[in-house]
Amino acid sequence: MKLLVQKDFDYNKVVLPDKELINSHLDKYLEIRYPQLIWESIRYSVLADGKRIRPLLMLESARICGGDIENVFPIACALEMLHAQSLIHDDLPCMDNDDYRRGKLTNHKVYGEAIAVLAGDALLSYAPKVIIKHTPDKVDKKVLLQVLEEFLKAAGPMGIVGGQVVDIESEEKEIDFATFNYILSHKTGELFKFAMRAGALLSGATEEKLEALSFYGKTIGYAFQIADDILDVTGTLETIGKTPGKDQNSKKNTHVSLYGLEESKKELEILCINAQQELIKKNINSPLLMAIAEQIVARVLK
Amino acid sequence: MKLLVQKDFDYNKVVLPDKELINSHLDKYLEIRYPQLIWESIRYSVLADGKRIRPLLMLESARICGGDIENVFPIACALEMLHAQSLIHDDLPCMDNDDYRRGKLTNHKVYGEAIAVLAGDALLSYAPKVIIKHTPDKVDKKVLLQVLEEFLKAAGPMGIVGGQVVDIESEEKEIDFATFNYILSHKTGELFKFAMRAGALLSGATEEKLEALSFYGKTIGYAFQIADDILDVTGTLETIGKTPGKDQNSKKNTHVSLYGLEESKKELEILCINAQQELIKKNINSPLLMAIAEQIVARVLK
């Protein structure tokens, strides 16, 4: 099986309108209020130039399932806020101690550690509040509560936080595949899976479609993290927007440190092929999802 | 008007059964899962000996309004988790840098800063998840979403986090009453008010009762914070469970630093009298709420 490449598909051009809609919704939800400092700090990180891959996946998932994307924006933006939160706290001196992120100084480098901690805390509560306040009234309350519960699960100790804790515990230790798998799926896989599930659930998807899109999301999330691990070795501050070589310096367990660069590249490609094949098998026609799987590989191999 | 003292009302004995119920629910919700370290760190702080004043107020508010207290436990415990979260992050070296809390070493002193940050993050997502997962199905979904939104508001940048930010910005500065009022109400007042509102909303309270109980909660919250400010000056590590004199050393604006010890004691008493009088005016018969108002004063003056 090979990775399928679509000719004449201009990824950046295709996603631009959705990216602009996501950014304008984020801008609206994060309008500056009193006390100004915390909103400025939040906006600094959330509105920084990013790929917006998680919300883009959610919008596409809703479209595939015939849903109204207006229903999805609050949750899509909440997911991006959650992602930014995890980056702000991950970058803190007591965690990964990073100076650069998305091509700019990290939040605590600009606003200080106390405000960076509080900006992350603020986002953790404000993101689910946006979901409740801004999701259109026509969305069934039971579905909304289900999506909200899955969101909170993905954010907390059974999600990102759990992955982060095991990651910290595993530093400078030899770990087995199950442990590495736990870190990878909880730090990245679950959020990508949630993006696909939320779009599908809000659009009344069939169980079969929901399963296929969940599989795609989880697989792409894995691939995305492996790509990140590879780029930490092969990238530069300019190409990846953060300091390269950090994983190795902090003796983190990454796919590359465990399996080597070549093996990681192979695994990355297999995952993206599997994600594409799942869509084909289940008759899900989405040039965008096909292209995203392809782009993750292209970003690393070029 | 004088503070009303009820003879033969043994506060500790009266609240003991509810306190035990709150603790057993917290224990159940926070059962240890993988990764064990984060749940241990969470349990260390949340299950530490505390007054449980916020959940106790919520249960009493529900009883007064004729509600079923079984409906209230998940939200009452979530509020206690939120309170513990704010303490864990407040105590961090980059914030107030405290070594003792509730008579024990602070979370980061035992588990390290990284895990303390993550324990707080975990609680911020897990607390609202407990509300969705454990609130009985018979509670109306619209009411549940309203209470959840108010909870998230009280936790975030329009609540505790906002108060904390202004508190940090105001250190070593002269501030006006409006600013001080903002800090006080957002750091403490809103959570006490929320405790009363949630109990009432889940129990189908009349608008008049809801308003009266909200007023009581907000006023008691204020009083509670002023009492804390006074005890920071007059208390000892043994009596207050944390290092005294911290506010003064960090040049925090407190009621005492702004108005002096005697004026603060007077204001504290007036607030508690007002809280009691509101109950009497609105024919709300609650020996417990009357006693709580009285206890806050007694704790400081004895």
Q: What is the ipTM of this complex?
A: 0.95
Structure-block tokens of residue A97: 């101690």
Least confident of A67-71, A178-182, A243-247, B188-192: A243-247
Interchain pair B157, A42: CB under 8 A: yes
Dihedral sign for Cα atoms in the order B272, B277, B282, B285 = positive
Nearest to B192 by CA among B68, B12, B58: B58
Q: Which residue of A has its CA nearest to B95?
A: A114
- Kindly report the nearest CA distance between residue A184 and chain B, in angstroms: 14
Residue A262 lies in a domain: yes
Nearest to B160 by CA among A207, A121, A203, A183: A121
Confidence label for B208 from pLDDT (cuts 50, 70 and 90): very high
Mutate to test the interface with B, among A36, A88, A118 (most CBs of B within 10 A): A118
Does residue B168 sit at the A interface (CB-CB below 8 Å)?
yes
Residue indicated by tokens 């440190």: A257
Q: Which stretch of DSSP H or E encloses residue B32?
A: none
Residue ranges of A 15-74 with Cβ closer than 8 A to chain B: 33-35, 37-39, 42
Q: Which stretch of DSSP H or E encloses residue B12?
A: helix B11-29
Chain A positions in Cβ-Cβ contact with residue B166 (cut-off 8 Å) = 35
Does residue A89 sit at the B interface (CB-CB below 8 Å)?
yes
Residue A38 lies in a domain: yes
Instruction: Report the alpha-carbon distance of residue A278 to residue A215 in Å, rounded.
Output: 8
Does residue B169 sit at the A interface (CB-CB below 8 Å)?
yes
Residue B19 lies in a domain: yes
pLDDT at A31: 98
Interchain pair B162, A38: CB under 8 A: yes
Chain A positions in Cβ-Cβ contact with residue B113 (cut-off 8 Å) = 94
Interchain pair B120, A121: CB under 8 A: yes
- Kindly report the nearest CA distance between residue A291 and chain B, in angstroms: 33
pLDDT for B246 beyond 90? no
pLDDT for B239 beyond 80? no
Paired with A101 in beta bridges are A104
Confidence label for A246 from pLDDT (cuts 50, 70 and 90): confident
Interchain pair A161, B94: CB under 8 A: no
pTM over 0.90: yes
Nearest to B122 among A94, A132, A161 (CB): A161
Nearest to B248 by CA among B240, B260, B262: B260
Residue B3 lies in a domain: no
Residue B5 lies in a domain: no
Task: Give the pLDDT mean for B231-260.
Answer: 80
Phi, psi of B119 (to 5 degrees): -65, -40
Calculate the average pLDDT of chain B. 94
Confidence label for B33 from pLDDT (cuts 50, 70 and 90): very high
The domain in which residue B117 lies consists of 11-165+173-301
Instruction: Report the alpha-carbon distance of residue A211 to residue A227 in Å, rounded.
Output: 24
Contact B77, B29 (CB under 8 A): yes
Q: Which residue of A has its CA nearest to B149?
A: A129
Q: How much of chain A exceeds pLDDT 90, in percent? A: 86
Residue B1 lies in a domain: no
Instruction: Report the alpha-carbon distance of residue A226 to residue A250 in Å, rounded.
Output: 17
Nearest to B82 by CA among B162, B191, B168, B158: B191
Calculate the average pLDDT of chain A. 94
Does residue B268 sit at the A interface (CB-CB below 8 Å)?
no
pLDDT at A149: 98
Q: Report chain A's C-alpha Rg in angstroms.
A: 18
Interchain pair B144, A149: CB under 8 A: no
Interchain pair A115, B168: CB under 8 A: yes
How many domains in chain A? 1
Chain A positions in Cβ-Cβ contact with residue B149 (cut-off 8 Å) = 129, 132-133
Residue ranges of A 178-217 with Cβ closer than 8 A to chain B: 182
Does residue A121 sit at the B interface (CB-CB below 8 Å)?
yes
Nearest to B35 among A33, A153, A169 (CB): A169
Least confident of A3-7, A125-129, A198-202: A3-7
pLDDT at B182: 96
What CATH number corresponds to the domain at position A33?
Answer: 1.10.600.10
Give Cα B97 to chain centroid, integer Å. 20
Chain A positions in Cβ-Cβ contact with residue B126 (cut-off 8 Å) = 152, 156-158
Q: What angle do CA B251, B255, B259 make, to 5 degrees?
A: 100
pLDDT at B237: 76
Confidence label for B301 from pLDDT (cuts 50, 70 and 90): confident
Residue B113 lies in a domain: yes
Mutate to test the interface with B, among A108, A161, A183, A191 (most CBs of B within 10 A): A161
The b/e string for A258-281 (b: 16+ C-beta within 10 A; e otherwise) is ebeeeebbebbbebbbbbbebbee
Interchain pair B37, A129: CB under 8 A: no
pLDDT for B241 beyond 90? no
Q: How much of chain A exceeds pLDDT 70, in percent? A: 99
Q: Please list the alpha-helical segments (H only) found in chain A.
A: 11-29, 36-46, 53-64, 73-90, 107-111, 113-134, 141-155, 160-170, 177-184, 190-201, 207-234, 237-240, 246-249, 255-259, 261-281, 287-301
pLDDT at A222: 95
Residue A74 lies in a domain: yes
Task: Give the pLDDT mean for B102-119.
Answer: 96
Nearest to B161 among A94, A122, A142 (CB): A122
Contact B28, A155 (CB under 8 A): no
Task: Give the pLDDT mean for B159-187.
Answer: 93
